[in-house]
Amino acid sequence: MHGILLIFVFFLLESWVQILPTAGYSLRNCTVQGSLNYTDRLKVLCYHMEFYHVPSDIPRNTKVLDISGNRISQLQENDFRNLTNLKNLNVSHNLICHVAPGTFRDLTGLQELNLTQNKLSVLSSSMFHGLLNLTVLKLAWNRIQKIDPDAFLVLANVRVVNLTSNALRRLEEVQPVLKCPHLEELSLGSNGFSTFSTKELTSVPLNLRVLDLSSNPITSFNVSTDVFPHLVDLDLSHSGPKDGLHWEMRNRSFLTGVKTLSLNGTRISTPGLFPVIESFANSLEVLHLNDLHVDTVGNIIKNVCLSLPKLQILSLRGDNLSTLQDRLFECCSLVYHLDLSDNQLKSVSDFSFRGMDSLGVLYLSHNQLVAVPNATQSISNLEYLDFSYNLIDHLQSWDFNNLTRLKHLILVGNKISTITGSLFGSLFNLQELKLGINLILSIPEPLSGSLHKLEILELRSNKLSTIKKGTFQNLRSLKSLNLVDNQIADIEEGAFRGLVQLRVLLLGSNKLTRDTFARKNVLTGMPSLTELQIFDNYLEYESNAELKHPPFKALKSLNYLAINSQGHNGLIHLPSNFLEGLSSLKELHAGNLNLDFIHPSTFNHTPHMSFLDISKNALSSDNTHDEPWVLRELLPNLEQDFLINANLTKVKFLSAMENEFTTLNKSHIHSLPSLKLLKLSLNPFTCGCINAWFQNWSLQDTNTQVLNLYELSCGYPPTLRNSRLADFKFDSCALDLEFIFFVSTSTIVTLTMMSSFIFHFLRWQVVYAYHLFQAFLYDRKQKPSRRYEFDAFVSYNTHDEPWVLRELLPNLEQGRGWKLCLHHRDFQPGKPIIDNIVDNIYKSRKTLCIISRHYLESEWCSREIQVASFRLFDEHKDVLVLVFLEDIPDCQLSPYHRMRKLVKKKTYLNWPKCEEETRLFWHKLNTALETREEPDEENPILTGLETCD
């Protein structure tokens, strides 16, 4: 009984918890990255949440706050109150048109403020009060047309200000910004400046290094004073009207520090362009001439290289070049980086790059080349060559001759169908080879041994169907191999043998099946592999039974595995030893696999797992939501509850979105002691007190955050389906836990002590009382209409049955005519034994007990004498006769036999040891059966023959 009570008490403790008010860690619609216990890492992300106001429950020790992409129209005075630890605030992409004075007064530690893409029109003098340590201010894409003179006085430490895409028209309107003494970078692009004259600038910070004036309708650029002595980067891209930009620089020494000049998309005429470029002849190292609207780019190139002897980087993207003539870059001997991407190049002369002895980086991507031009073979110092997204359909063995220093070769997005081992024979120093998005059908022979320094090989999005043994055996320095999005269905044993330095292997989006990995040595030869991706294939298993050859057994160093999103029906089953060998695994992506069960021993092979994604499956914490709530709590489906039994003690991030979880309790959470982030969206939670503990823990725990806690929805009961778990009134579940513990423990202790005492000292008395009570009820029922059918009920043990049949029956029934009731003869078949005993004792005038040592040890004999003893007390008649077949000391008699000797000493007999005394014994027994039943009347014959007490 106390066991049932114990189960009930623990059920109460599990289902009912005390709900306490708390300043929750799980914010409403916000994500917290980091721990409340560490102020230097706490990041709160509330972007794209449709907020109309700044959330009020931001933790005080937040370091980074992102509330971008909402519908906030105003920033109020107390929105950021007490956030003294905040370093980075992002309120971009809102509808903010007003910032109340004092809004930022508590943000004394703020370093970066992003107000990009709002509706601010005025920067008032009190807007930035409190931002004493601000270094970056982003105000791009607003409607700012006025800046108060004192608006930036408080920003003594600001270094970067971005005012791109506003409504500023005159340069003097920016003068308040230029009062910042430490300003280094100023962006004024896409405003309405029509002229730029240094005469309008009364004060300019000496440290200004970057000035962006791009996309302004500037008709005149006049530098008449040396106000930019340290300017390094000047951007005039897409500036000027259609008829060109008037450029005037009184003294070439004024901008001698400028090293980077951007003139992309400018409408300056060719004759007008040269004076601009020549103004920076002594310093310019980087020149961007992309998207020029001129037809004589060739002439510009020659003059540029002649005018700029220090030029190192030249960008000519999108300039409509179709051919490159001989010796076009002959004067660009110091250029190291040349970008010719996004043109319409179809032809490149063999000597186009002659004279470019310093060229190390060449971009020819997004053109119309059908073959690798011979011109590149003459660039002996080339280290980076990009031919991506052209029309190249084949490669020749001599295409890369003489490029012995080449380290990066990009051939992505062409029409190459075949590659052979000899193609890259001269590329001894190649470190990166990208052949993705081509039409490669196979690699018939091992890749060249010259690629012994290759570290990155990309073959994604081709038509490969088989990976043959030895294909990569010569690539002993390879660290990353990308084979994603092919048609690979077969991997020969030993295909990756020799890749001793390989760290990353990407096999996603292919046609791999379980048969691919059924062989023993498919994924061998890669002792250093740390990342393996085989997502979006066709792996499927029929059961959770162990595999003969676990596929990852040889990958002892692997710490990242992605097996998510298997095709057709999904993985369906996850063999219990599927992860065997992955002793270093830290991150597992196993979402969208159609799993409804994971064996608890699955993760015994991954003791260091810290990231687990099992979203979009059919997993559940129990399968009993359709049963009554008491049954669900008392009989949980522990076998399927893998979270409790799995070895996930080091998991910090768990994503279980879109599963069938209905409840999470203390056992689940305690099995995840290292958990920091938990994602449970789109699960059918039970809205009831069974989840009260989980809700309370989610709000109170400062170490673990339940992402989107306030968006968790209800699946049960049906009346609350699709409502939010957070809206359920958990207050109704509140109980005083201390009182429950006190009452329950006191009751359990008391019952345990009483049960132990009664069992040890009063066991037989309790049993005796029980049978007395049964006999009493029976007697009360039967007494009015009782008729005796037998003269005596004979109670004996089966070991004494020979004496009863041989001695007792002949002398009493045959010799004296008494009618006796015997077990084997007179009990009613099919009737319970105890009922037969009680009925026949009360149908007999007397009960004759044949006492022996076997009799005393018999439970049923004990019951018979108990019932007879009760009849003795109840009827006050001498109805009990004891016959001792052997001498038994009093100390061995049970309480019932001793009681009988004390109550009535006259009617018990001993079977004589001498044969001569048997006649007297039968006479005495016959007299006892004839004696009247009044208890006080004595029989003279029996009194004289009583044996010693």
DSSP string, 495-544: TTTT-TT--EEE--SS---TTTT-STTTT-S-TT--EEE--SS----S-S
Of the ranges 346-350, 482-486, 631-635, which one carries the lowest mean pLDDT score? 631-635
pLDDT band at 779 (very low <50, low <70, confident <90, very high): low
- Please choose, from the candidates 267, 172, 178, the residue with its C-alpha nearest in 3D space to the C-alpha of residue 231: 178
Better pLDDT: 386 or 268? 386
The dihedral built from the CA positions of residue 704, 707, 710 and 715, taken in this order, carries a sign that is: negative
- Cα 829 to chain centroid distance, Å, stands at 66
The pLDDT score that the predictor gives to residue 2 is: 42
- Which pLDDT value is given to residue 728? 82
pLDDT (tens digit per residue) in 155-168:
999 999 999 999 99
CATH 3.40.640.10 fits 552-737, yes or no: no
pLDDT band at residue 780 under the 50/70/90 scheme: low
User: What is the mean pLDDT of the segment spanning 384-413?
Assistant: 95
What is the CATH topology of the domain spanning 425-538?
A: 3.80.10
316: nearest Cα among 379, 405, 335: 335
* CATH architecture, domain 47-192: Alpha-Beta Horseshoe (3.80)
Model pLDDT, residue 622: 59
pLDDT band at 721 (very low <50, low <70, confident <90, very high): confident
- Is residue 285 over pLDDT 60? yes
Q: Per-residue confidence at 368, pLDDT binned at 50, 70, 90?
A: very high
Compute the average pLDDT of residues 263-287.
85
What is the homologous superfamily of the domain 766-945 according to CATH?
Answer: Toll/interleukin-1 receptor homology (TIR) domain (3.40.50.10140)
Q: Are 72 and 53 in contact (CB under 8 A)?
A: yes
Which pLDDT score, from 0 to 100, does residue 825 have? Answer: 85
User: What token pair was written down for 734?
Assistant: 């509140």
Q: What is the pLDDT of residue 9?
A: 37
Would you state the structure tokens that stand for residue 169, as one six-digit string? 């028209």
- What is the rounded average pLDDT for all residues in the chain? 85
132 close to 113: Cβ distance less than 8 angstroms: no
- CB of 31 within 8 A of CB of 705? yes
For 722, the enclosing helix (H) or strand (E) is none
pLDDT tens, residue by residue, 500-538: 999 999 999 999 999 999 988 899 999 999 999 999 999
Tens-digit pLDDT profile for residues 170-191: 999 999 999 999 999 999 999 9
pLDDT at 489 over 90: yes
Give me the pLDDT at residue 736, please. Answer: 56
pLDDT digits (tens, 9 = 90+) for 287-345: 999 998 766 777 788 888 888 999 999 999 998 899 999 888 988 889 999 999 999 99
pLDDT tens digit sequence for 47-94: 999 999 999 888 888 999 999 999 999 999 999 999 999 999 999 999
For 162, how many CA atoms within 13 A lie in the half-sphere containing its CB? 17
Place of tokens 């896409």: 190
Report the distance separating Cα 140 and Cα 161, nearest Å.
Answer: 9
The confidence score (pLDDT) of residue 262 equals 95
Which pLDDT value is given to residue 536? 96
